[in-house]
Structure 1
Amino acid sequence: MKKVLFFTSFLLLTLSAFSQVLKPIEWKIEFSKTNPEIGDEVEIKFKATIEKDWYLYSSDFDPDLGPLITEFSFDENDTYELVGELTPVNPKKKYDSLWEGEYTYFKKKGLFIQKVKILKEDFKITGGYFYQVCSDIDGKCIPFEDEFTLGDTSNNGGDLKKKNEPEEGSLWSILITAFLAGLVALLTPCVYPMIPITVSIFLKQSKSRKEGVGKALIYGLSIIIFFSLLGFLISFIWGFTALNELSTHWLFNLIIFSVFILFALSFFGLFEITLPSGLVTKIDHQADRGGLIGIFFMAITLVLVSFSCTFPIVGTALINTLSGGSIIEGTTAMFGFSLAFAIPFTGFAVFPAWLKSMPESGGWLNAVKVVLGFLELALALKFLSVADLAYHWGILDREVFIALWIAIFGLLGLYLIGKLKLKSDPDTDKISVFRLILAVITFSFTISLIPGLWGAPLKSLSGFLPPMATHNFNLLQEEAGGNTCEEPLYDNILEWPHGLEGYFDYEQALSCAQEQNKPLFIDFTGHGCVNCREMEQRVWSDPAVLKRLSEDFVLVALYVDDRTILSNDSWYTSSYDGKTKKTIGQQNADFQITRFNNNAQPFYVILNEDEDLIIEPRAYNLNISEFVDFLDIALENHRKHAVL
């Protein structure tokens, strides 16, 4: 029977070979100058070509955040010296709700630059680089470690890529979001009344309807050109480096926080924000000149007059877009915003009968302005939170942030049903059905925030809220337990989620599994594995899964990217790549490749005490019932094996 079990295990291992060892990235390392001479300062360019649907983490974000940063090391010798620090060239930036922080990464192409000074003619530069690539499709994350050697024969020149190229899908997302922001801006009291007035002027001043339509088209085009040019200039001046550096600076975030609070108070009617009247008057005089120039200045006048209502919306779009540092993205954002802004003026000129169907200006416009004020207050807290987290002030912990949001959106709900009124609101006891629906949505959202005060994860809002580590009053801390025989190695630097107890060393865990006669559950994971954390939060947190993991298995988490260096007597040379494995991560990654022919994480393997597979390994999959079946079948197979 053991032969049958061995054959079954062999078949399962063969089936798992469908997940072959992957390396979806290629590197090219070269100098910026062919045949550098003594005294030359040249750039070493580490160029990465990344397969479609994969991405590479960069090197310029907080290494304690979670994802595995790309690291380069250089062996010291007297033939060269490093000049400055390694620089990643224009990586993309993204906030990840799972890590509760912002990281940088590369898609398709990646570039890192290190400047060196050549000291001797027979120079030789050697070193290594450690990095991780992840898949957008199936959640695989794979760490790699490579070495490089550069000398006179390695110099082959190369051109430096000047700027990153945003993905087409990313640009469409920016365009659509900005377009929707433009539609919101149209409903503000500063803009909405201008639509019928401006269109009427065009139609009355023109000798024919055709001429009026032509002027309206030029007017709309002028609005688009003005906003798009503004986005281009701002992103060109600030986008590449300054906004990236400022994004977590306390002063920048406090300024934005203050501006948002200022505009919120203005929206509530405390005071009016306007541009200097002299500037607006001068430009308005230019609009009276007529012709194409006059139409263009009419467009600029509209932009300036609407400043007090549109600036917070435009500013939010620019800040969120330009943090990525791309001229294309900044220009796209402003183009989308201005497109929505310009369409009504052109559309109503082409079809003037539509003007009759427009709702009249009234109290509803003021209500829109007040609602925007509440939203400005809520968004302002996000900028204060960034500064608070970056500098550890401790003034806006997670529960404080949630409490403030509950107050803000609760007051917004009361305003929508007419129980809270401001001086600028008309006297009326009736509300529209649409306003009632908005109130229901607002109150529902407010109520959903309340469990967060006691530690509920509020996963859908994790991109806005401070991290759970700042929560001082958590009643939902889990204590699942587990099966251990002795104190686990490395438990001072590694931990299990959800209060589970387990090991971080394979041999120690296997010994305990044999002692307790329980199956061994191996979790190939990584500090920088996004989908490992998602599996833990969305699948492992299920009570049925937690119960089985804690009661029926001995657990071992093998981190493939941990850089802890082991003692010399634990080092060995890999049969896979011939390299010496010195760290916990190197040895765990080598074990996964050589034993299971797989190098992606997360990867779950269950063995019996004889180290035989008792079920086909499982990778990233968020189906909870299938994961429960995976555990149950493995447990049943283990019991059958124990009887035999």
Structure 2
Amino acid sequence: MKRSITILIVFLVFWATGSQAQIVDPVHWSTELKMTGDAQGEVVMTASIDAGWHMYSLDVDPDIGPQPLAIEWTALDGVELKGHPKADKTPHKKYDEMFGANLSWWTEGVTITQAFTATKSKFAIEGLIRYSACNNDNCIPPAKESFSMAGNAKIASAPAETPVDTVVTDTVAAAPVVASKAEISDADLWAPVDTTSSDDTTDYSTTSLWYIFIACFAGGFLALLTPCVWPMIPMTVSFFLKKGKNRARAVADAMTYGLSIIVIYVALGILVTAIWGPAKLNDLATSATCNIIFFILLIIFAISFFGAFDIKLPSKWANKMDATADKTTGLLSIFFMAFTLTLVSFSCTGPIIGTLLVEAASTGDKFGPAIGMAGFALALAIPFCLFALFPSWLQSAPKSGSWMNTVKVVLGFLELALSLKFLSVADLAYGWHILDRETFLALWIVIFGLLGAYLLGAFNFAHYGPADRSIGTVRFFLAVASLSFTVYLIPGLWGAPLKSASAFVPPLYTQDFNLYGESFTEYSDYDEGMAAAKKEGKPVLLDFSGYGCVNCRKMEGAVLDEPDVKAMIENNFVVIKLMVDEKRELPEPEYVEENGKQIRLDTYGERWSYLQRYKLQANAQPYYVILNDRGELLSGPYAYDESIPRFTRFLEKGIKAAE
């Protein structure tokens, strides 16, 4: 058991921190020019591939993952290409488990030829070969090989010269032509800027992971209070105290039990990442399909907590784990006891775990599920360890009873309210307008109003028996909190900012009726906004945001909608707000180069995400910078920080720099 835990911990550390590896180039290129006639010739490109490696061919979909072989003709002086490149052998075609698709590749080597006709007696050719290769264990990043050559041809009369700066990208499967930055937008406006001199030291990933950890820790604490887990605490602790030859051994066993719980749930978080993959986790944040599935799942979890049915794992799983724990001894026996707890308590913890994993995965952080499950498991493990250290505390712990059913019902209402967040994300990203702000608020008002009425004993679900009119002090104050929150939400139906709920409520611009005044004008297109800034002679407040970004909504409600900040922005800036998860399709796909790989942009969200990465070398949201009308940096960047004085200083710096 110790060895298994050690191996898992080493794996976690390696997976989280990455490793340094020697640079590998398994493909070696040679190029030559061959004349096949007075004015006819061929460019011959030969690849030698190391043993055990394969290079992907020309007919691979670049959206799947690997870089297909592509030949970019960067300069053709006095040359006309004839047809497409041709390979001297047919590639292997096979299903690739790493990418989950049918791919084709060459092994050992291949020769590619491109025919041409010279139009001048002296001609020159320059090109770039882009390729990627893998073996059974890993892949190299997309790589490139440049070449240039010149030759002489016998030309009777020289026609007009071919421009030297012609750029053509070709593959056997006719890959898309790579668009230059000028085809996407004005090159100066899109030009990268240096943000390293900024005094902003926010660690975006750490902030996000702390949020996930704390949220899941709170979820683990709530799971403790359910009827499937709470009664297990005194039983398990008493078992260790009686079984141990001395108290020190009993405490050590309880500590091992707690550590085993953590290992099991962290392994579950890693499994989620392994199944979906780190890259796919980003898609979960705004994918309509995923968010609708999450919405339905949370509805099912809520109905389960209301007592309509129980979500249970097959009983034979728990029985098998229990039998295994009896047969084994030492640390391994304790580990299987912890595993039995996770299976037996699943009917209560399953919906909570499912909700937390959905929330952690939808943040798009590849460490999110593992960190979230670590927080959840820590909350579960602490009571077992504490009661083993201080057994007398068990006497004062609350006894099992009907109050635990109340916990389940309250969790059901919370699941119901949270489910609307996922439906809202899909609704915003795709512009369906089925869950605009007032509709969302009306549903929340009903949900939290019913929760308050339930806590006051106005009704109960049939599964849990008749309503109990005699309520305790804690339940009374929870009812007051729920009903107060309900009243707080009501003015939002007429446009109140609702800063405390802004992280979950749809943006104010989705509301049809607003008595509180409109917000400042925001451009949703970068080029259009920059043109407006040049016309008005104002600097630009560039806001990279997202429909599924919780912190973006919190910044808008707590900082940007604050009257003084709002007035400063409205009077001094042109605001461009770009949603990196917008699913509206571009008029036609655009192609860009990034990290040596051809990237296809299909939606406006992908376009704005690329702009943020290319121009600002960042991909976190919210992310604010102030630019002049030429696209040069004046102030920032500024990340998530609800400090109004600090955000005001960020704006003032931009105003002074513009002057």
Q: What TM-score do you get using the length of structure 2 for normalisation?
A: 0.56
1:432 is aligned to 472
Say which of 504, 521, 525 aligns to 2:541.
525
Confirm or deny that 1:209 pairs with 2:247: yes
Q: Structure 1 171/622 Cα, relative in aligned 2: closer, same or farther at 3 Å?
A: closer
C-alpha separation between the residues in 1 aligned to 2:646 and 2:371? 40
Secondary structure (helix, strand or coil) at the match of 1:288 reads helix
- Aligned residue for 2:278, secondary structure, equals coil
Q: 1:260 to 1:42 in 2, by over 3 A?
A: same
Deviation at 1:360, TM superposition (A): 0.9
Could you list the per-position Cα deviations for residues 366-410 of structure 1 after superposition, in whole angstroms to 9, with x for gaps in the alignment? Answer: 111110000010111122222333344332222211111111111
In structure 1, how many angstroms separate the alpha carbons of the residues matched to 2:249 and 2:369? 34
Q: 1:476 to 1:75 in 2, by over 3 A?
A: farther
2:635 to 596, 600, 606: 600
Confirm or deny: 8 A CA contact 1:178 1:337 kept in the other structure. yes
Distance in 1, Cα, partners of 2:450 & 2:146: 66
Deviations 1:16-72 (A, max 9, x none): xxxxxxxxxxxxxx99789865466999xxxxxxxxxxxxxxxx9xxxxxxxxxxxx
Equivalent in 380, 386, 399 of residue 438 of structure 2: 399
Q: Which of 345, 353, 356 is the matching residue for 2:384? A: 345
Q: Specify whether residues 302 and 192 from structure 1 end up closer, same or farther in structure 2 by C-alpha distance, changes over 3 A only.
A: same
Aligned equivalent of 2:278: 240
Q: For residues 319 and 32 of structure 1, do their structure 2 counterparts lie closer, same or farther at Cα, with a shift above 3 Å needed?
A: farther
Q: Which of 454, 457, 476 is the equivalent residue of 1:418?
A: 457
Q: In the aligned structure 2, how far is the partner of 1:479 from the partner of 1:217?
A: 55
| Mapped contact 1:257–1:384 kept (Cα < 8 A) | yes
For the 8 Å contact 2:299–2:416, the answer to whether it is kept is: yes
Q: Is the 8 A contact 1:32 1:42 kept in 2?
A: no
* Distance in 1 separating the partners of 2:317 and 2:458: 40
Q: Which amino acid aligns with 1:200?
A: S
- The corresponding residue for 1:198 is 236
Query: Structure 1 pair 254/132, CA: closer, same or farther in 2 (3 Å)?
Result: farther
What is the CA distance between 1:525 and its match in structure 2? 3.0
Aligned partner of residue 526 in structure 1, secondary structure: strand
Deviations 1:568-624 (A, max 9, x none): xxxxxxxxxxxxxxxxxxxx837697xxxx722699xxxxxxxxxxxxxxxx99459
* Aligned residues: CA RMSD: 5.1
How much does 1:195 deviate?
A: 0.6
> What code does the residue aligned with 2:240 have?
F
1:336 counterpart letter in structure 2:
G
How far off is 1:351 after superposition? 2.0
1:418 aligned counterpart, secondary structure: coil
Whichever residue aligns with residue 378 of structure 1, its letter is A
Q: Structure 2: state its 5+ residue gaps.
A: 1-22, 31-44, 48-53, 57-62, 64-71, 76-80, 82-126, 133-139, 151-166, 170-177, 182-189, 579-626
2:326 counterpart (288, 299, 311):
288
Identity %: 43
Number of the residue aligned with 2:315: 277
Structure-to-structure mapping, 1:250-329, within 5 angstroms: 250-292=288-330, 293-323=332-362, 328-329=367-368
| Equivalence for 1:589 | 628
Q: SS state of the match for residue 312, structure 2?
A: coil
Give 1:260 shift: 1.3
Distance 1:234 1:83, change over 3 A: same
Aligned residue in 2 for 1:359: 398
Distance 1:600 1:434, change over 3 A: same
Aligned pairs for 1:483-498 (under 5 A) are: none
Aligned equivalent of 1:175, options 192, 213, 218: 213
Q: Whole-Å Cα distance in 2 between the matches of residues 547 and 326 of structure 1?
A: 35
Identify if the C-alpha distance between structure 1 residues 286 and 166 changes in structure 2 by more than 3 Å, giving closer, same or farther: farther
**Alpha-carbon distance, 1:269 to partner:** 1.1
Q: Measure, in 1, the Cα distance between the counterparts of 2:526 and 2:378.
A: 56
Q: Distance in 2 between the 1:429 and 1:196 partners?
A: 30
Query: Shift of the alpha carbon at 1:323?
Result: 4.0
Partner SS for 2:635: coil
Alignment check: 8 A CA contact 2:269 2:370 kept: yes
- Opposite residue 259 of structure 2, the aligned amino acid is L
Residue number among 200, 216, 225 corresponding to 2:263 in the alignment: 225
Letter in 1 for 2:315: S
Output the amino acid matched with 2:439: V
**Secondary structure of the structure 2 residue equivalent to 1:248:** coil
Offset from partner CA, 1:434-479 (integer Å, 9 cap, x none): 2222222212211221122222333443332233343233344439
Secondary structure in 1 aligned to 2:435? Answer: coil
> Which one of the candidate residues 406, 416, 422 is aligned to 1:377?
416
Equivalent position of 1:464 in the other structure:
504
Write out aligned runs for 1:56-135 (5 A): 77=75, 79-80=127-128, 130-131=191-192
Q: Is the 8 A contact 2:424 2:506 kept in 1?
A: yes
| Paired residues for 1:509-524 under 5 Å | 522-524=538-540
Counterpart pick for 1:333 among 362, 372, 384: 372
Query: Hey, what's the Cα distance between the residues in 2 that align with 1:248 and 1:491?
Result: 19
| SS state at 2:309 partner | coil
Q: Confirm whether residue 388 of structure 1 aligns to residue 427 of structure 2.
A: yes
Distance 1:131-1:83 versus aligned 2 partners, 3 A rule: farther
Distance in 2 of aligned mates of 1:463 and 1:115: 42
CA-CA distance at 1:196 after TM superposition: 0.7
Structure-1 residue corresponding to 2:7: none
Provide the TM-score with structure 1 as the length reference: 0.58
Taking a change above 3 Å as real, the CA distance of residues 377 and 119 of structure 1, as seen in their structure-2 partners, is: farther
Kindly tell me: are residues 480 and 298 of structure 1, through their superposed partners in 2, closer, same or farther at Cα, counting changes over 3 Å? closer
Cα distance change of structure 1 residues 212 and 192 upon mapping to structure 2, 3 Å threshold: same
What is the CA–CA distance in structure 1 between the aligned matches of 2:201 and 2:384, rounded to whole Å?
49
The equivalent residue for 2:623 is none
Partner of 2:484: 444
Q: More relative contact order in 1 or in 2 (CA 8 Å, sep 6+)? A: 1
Deviation at 1:421, TM superposition (A): 1.9
Query: Any idea what the Cα deviations from partners look like across 1:332-355, whole Å, max 9, x if unmatched?
Result: 322222122112122222322111
- Write the letter of the residue equivalent to 1:464: F
Give secondary structure in 1 for the equivalent of 2:383: helix
State how far apart, in whole Å, the 2-side matches of 1:256 and 1:114 are.
35
1:397–1:471 CA contact under 8 A, matched in 2: yes
The whole-number CA distance in structure 2 between the counterparts of 1:546 and 1:412 is 35
Q: Secondary structure at the match of 1:525?
A: strand
Q: Quickly say closer, same or farther: Cα 1:187–1:31, change in 2 above 3 A.
A: same
CA distance in structure 2 between the aligned counterparts of 1:225 and 1:212, rounded to whole angstroms: 20
1:82-133 residue CA offsets vs partner (Å, 9 max, x unmatched): 679xxxxxxxxxxxxxxxxxxxxxxxxxxx9766575756999996664467
| Aligned residue in 2 for 1:104 | none
Q: 1:543 to 1:245 in 2, by over 3 A?
A: closer
Number of residue-to-residue matches in the alignment: 451
Cα deviation per residue 1:396-435 (whole Å; 9 max; x = unaligned)? 2222111111111111111122223223156532222222
What is the CA–CA distance in structure 2 between the aligned matches of 1:390 and 1:433, rounded to whole Å?
A: 43
Partners of 2:541 and 2:573 within 8 A in 1: no
Taking a change above 3 Å as real, the CA distance of residues 138 and 494 of structure 1, as seen in their structure-2 partners, is: farther
Asked if 1 retains the 8 angstrom alpha-carbon contact of 2:502 and 2:553, the reply is: no
Letter in 2 for 1:390: A
Amino acid corresponding to residue 220 of structure 1 in structure 2: G
In structure 2, the CA distance between the partners of 1:491 and 1:470, relative to structure 1 (3 Å rule), is closer
**1:310, 1:479 → 2: CA distance?**
42
Match of 1:641 in 2: none
Do the aligned residues in 2 keep the contact of 1:260 with 1:377 (CA within 8 Å)? yes
Runs (5+) with no aligned partner, structure 1: 1-29, 44-59, 61-73, 85-111, 142-164, 482-489, 497-502, 510-520, 562-587, 604-619, 635-644
Query: Which residue type is aligned with residue 503 of structure 2?
Result: G
